[in-house]
């Protein structure tokens, strides 16, 4: 009974942290719990949440994707350029941009799975390449002047619920379905848990890695579309550093950096914690540099906790 209770507490610990933080910020600033601010938080975290689904898949296999931020940037610029300069329809521009995002993810998958490059090097290289490409295409200046209907994706509502939140919820539902209800999901866990054993059991490990990085690129691209619609302007630095916030959300949500363990439900809590932490610090007039320090400490805490669990220290305790 005692072991069961301890296990349940550990499993739900991230939600307990979320509730404590929420209450703390509610007492610290009354504006925090205002409906307008809560909707603002929901819209802000939607982009993290969408990209976090793909990043969850990557980290589940013990990988990393540092190109997520640059994919968001290049999707911003390319989608805007297609609509403004090339006169593409909104639908055609969005679809083309998402295909490009998936292609960049596939390139990362090819480098990691087929060429056997370390994921951190492969994705860092493509991050640099596509950040530069975004600057070249945009000329280093914002691109704006879209069809008014495009705003619906990032600024619209269905009843009282923001459209970006609905998109995020659908992405989380899809991610949970893939992990829990499909054989691909079982393969993701298997490859992350023991890659060599997965090979011996007949799983096409290279194909799984290729698929995962392609999906990561696609989800990052979708986050980029939401961001572009929300800001109504394509910035050549739109996604800079975004990947680290997404990685923090995923690791904070209990997805093991060693691979093989993690749940989408806890990643949702990780996303919400980063959202209320950022918003709460802004309301309390905490400087952006201090916010960076806090987020870095949160990442250290999350990875450190995961490392202690993997080493058996917490289990013995």
Cβ atoms 54, 216 nearer than 8 A: yes
Higher pLDDT, 299 or 132: 132
> Strand, coil or helix: what is 61?
coil
Q: What is the pLDDT of residues 242-284, one digit of tens each?
A: 999 999 999 988 898 888 888 899 999 999 999 999 898 988 8
Total domains, the chain: 1
Cβ atoms 213, 106 nearer than 8 A: yes
pLDDT tier at 53 (50, 70, 90 boundaries)?
A: very high
CATH number for 84: 1.10.3470
Tell the residue number behind the tokens 């933080």, with chain if given: 21
Q: Give me the domain span that covers residue 191.
A: 38-304
User: Average pLDDT in the 105-110 region?
Assistant: 97
Distance CA 5, CA 278 (A): 32
Q: Please, which residues have CB within 8 angstroms of residue 29's CB and are 6 or more apart in sequence?
A: 280, 283, 284
Question: How many of the other CB atoms lie within 10 Å of CB of 241?
Answer: 10
* Average pLDDT across the chain, whole number: 89
Residue 316, domain member (yes or no)? no
Q: What is the pLDDT of residues 71-98, one digit of tens each?
A: 999 999 999 999 998 999 999 999 999 9
Is the pLDDT reported for residue 314 higher than 60?
no
Cβ atoms 71, 221 nearer than 8 A: yes
So what's the pLDDT on residue 35? 87
Q: Of all residues in the chain, what percent carry a pLDDT higher than 70?
A: 93
Residue 135, domain member (yes or no)? yes
Distance of CA 186 to the CA centre of its chain: 21
Q: Indicate the DSSP class of residue 234.
A: B
Q: What is the pLDDT of residues 210-225, one digit of tens each?
A: 999 999 999 999 999 9
**pTM attached to this predicted model:** 0.91
User: Average pLDDT in the 150-170 region?
Assistant: 92
So what's the pLDDT on residue 52? 96
Residue 61, domain member (yes or no)? yes
Q: What is the pLDDT of residues 195-211, one digit of tens each?
A: 999 999 999 999 999 99
Residue 179, domain member (yes or no)? yes
């Amino acid at each position: 009974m005692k072991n069961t209770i301890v296990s349940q507490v550990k499993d739900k610990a991230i939600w307990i942290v979320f509730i404590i933080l929420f209450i703390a910020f509610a007492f610290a600033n009354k504006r925090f719990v205002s409906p307008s601010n809560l909707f603002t938080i929901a819209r802000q975290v939607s982009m993290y949440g969408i990209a976090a689904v793909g990043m969850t898949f990557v980290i589940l296999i013990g990988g990393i994707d540092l190109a997520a931020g640059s994919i968001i940037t290049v999707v911003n610029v390319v989608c805007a350029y297609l609509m403004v300069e090339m006169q593409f329809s909104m639908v055609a521009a969005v679809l083309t941009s998402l295909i490009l995002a998936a292609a960049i993810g596939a390139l990362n998958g090819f480098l990691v799975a087929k060429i056997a490059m370390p994921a951190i090097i492969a994705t860092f290289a493509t991050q640099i390449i596509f950040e530069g490409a975004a600057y070249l295409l945009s000329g280093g200046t914002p691109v704006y002047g879209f069809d008014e209907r495009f705003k619906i994706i990032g600024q619209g509502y269905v009843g009282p619920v923001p459209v970006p939140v609905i998109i995020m919820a659908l992405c989380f539902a899809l991610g949970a379905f893939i992990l829990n209800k499909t054989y691909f999901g079982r393969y993701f866990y298997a490859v992350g848990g023991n890659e060599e054993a997965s090979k011996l059991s007949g799983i096409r490990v290279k194909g799984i890695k290729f698929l995962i990085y392609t999906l990561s690129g696609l989800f990052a691209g979708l986050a980029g579309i939401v961001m572009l619609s929300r800001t109504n302007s394509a910035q050549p630095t739109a996604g800079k550093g975004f990947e680290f916030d997404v990685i923090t959300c995923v690791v904070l949500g209990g997805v093991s950096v060693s691979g093989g363990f993690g749940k989408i439900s806890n990643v949702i809590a990780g996303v919400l914690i980063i959202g209320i932490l950022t918003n709460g610090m802004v309301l309390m007039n905490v400087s952006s540099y201090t916010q960076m320090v806090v987020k870095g400490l949160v990442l250290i805490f999350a990875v450190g906790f995961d490392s202690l669990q993997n080493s058996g220290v917490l289990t013995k305790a």
